[in-house]
Amino acid sequence: MTVDRIVHLVAGLMVLLGLALAHYVHPYWVALPAFVGLNLAQSGITRFCPLAFFLKKAGIKDDSCCS
């Protein structure tokens, strides 16, 4: 699995987890998917994703052909 696929998988799971927790536990859990959405918007603008940075440092292979 590549860095991009892991980032998308983790983001999607965190959104689903946050929505489930907001529905079943407490409405304040809606902050989790909001944070994930803000982080995705930030990474789209700045081209820096903290999770991708740590995954690359951990040795997960990148998708690019030139890395």
Measuring CA to CA, which residue among 57, 64, 54 is closest to residue 7? 54
- Segments making up each domain of the chain, as ranges: 3-57
User: Vertex 27, ends 24 and 29: CA angle to 5°?
Assistant: 85
| CB-based contact 33:25 (threshold 8 Å) | no
Measuring CA to CA, which residue among 22, 42, 53, 18 is closest to residue 32? 18
| CB-based contact 28:34 (threshold 8 Å) | no
pLDDT tens sequence for the chain (67 residues): 899 999 999 999 999 999 999 999 999 999 999 999 999 999 999 999 999 999 999 999 887 655 5
pTM listed for this prediction: 0.85
